[in-house]
Amino acid sequence: MKKIIYFLILLSLASCKKEMMGYDGVEGIYFAVTSGPSYASPSSWPYRPYTNIEFVKQPASVKEYIANIKVMITGPVKDYDRQFTVEINPDSTTAQEGVHFLPIGETFIIPASAIYGYIPVTLKRTPDLAVANKKVGLRLIASEDFGIVFTNWKAIPGLGTNNLGPDTAFDASLHTINVSDLMVQPAVWRGSVVTATNKETGAWGAFTRKKLLLMCQLFNLTYEDFGSDATMPLVLSNLITTEMTRYLVNQFNAGTPVKEDDGRLMWVGTVPWTSIVGVPY
């Protein structure tokens, strides 16, 4: 009886071995860019059909930025390099090649023994990005080595999002790079404008791009330093007010007053002049 049971076990194992097969699906490629909140583990971030590049978060000296757009493959790993193809998608591109981004080429490599690769896209910081966002659309093209997969991607609900929406249900053969240099009032801005009179008040008065950039220049700060009370504590805010006052008064006394775009004198809370938004000096 034991011999019969042993024989049946061997027969079952042999049968299972015959049924085991290698991967026979499409050897494909797709965009694999993830993003999410800083407090969450990157491994929990969902895939996104876009990448946001904000030059405002870079020092003013940064005039170009290389965005490395990640792609991944399906199918077995190979012990040799394989090529994949990308093109600019005109349907989702508002940026101008040669002005807002450099030509990207067409062919890129998945290295041997790798399951992912990158498309480096060089973006240029231009003055018009301070006014309007520009987009660079990318589209994967089937090649000799890879087909196109996941054209109807749906993320898992709860993996960085509570429900499926336009950011989590998309065509993973397409990707859009959003490029901007737009500057909005940061989370920490210790000033305001009196609504009835347009008079600047508080420590820093009205928020302007010009004023914030001057603060960054004088105190070696970045836009992101104004993002929270942790990075912009009150003691630093007070120091900025004091030193900005000294700088602005010195410039005024030297005959080179610092003006806002509407012609009024730049203002912080302890300068000896008042400032009305929209009223030039």
The domains of the chain are located at: 28-180, 183-281
pLDDT at 156: 61
| 233's tokens | 């504590």
Q: In three state form, how does the secondary structure of 81-146 look?
A: CEEEEEEECHHHCCCCECCCECCCCCEEEECCCCCEEEEEEEEECCHHHHCCCEEEEEEEECCCCC
pLDDT above 80 for 225: yes
pLDDT single digits (tens) 159-208: 545 554 556 689 999 999 999 999 999 999 999 999 999 999 999 999 99
Average pLDDT over the chain, rounded to whole?
89
Question: Is the pTM value of this prediction over 0.85?
Answer: no
pLDDT at 167: 65
**Which amino acid makes up residue 109?**
I
pLDDT above 60 for 15: no
pLDDT at 43: 84
Supply φ then ψ for residue 66, to 5 degrees.
-100, 115
Q: What is the CATH number of domain 28-180?
A: 2.60.40.2030
pLDDT single digits (tens) 37-87: 878 888 888 899 999 999 998 888 899 999 999 999 999 999 999 999 999
Residues linked to residue 134 through DSSP beta bridges, in sequence order? 179
What would the mean pLDDT of 209-229 be, rounded to a whole number? Answer: 94
Q: Which residues contact 12 (CB under 8 A, 6 or more apart)?
A: none
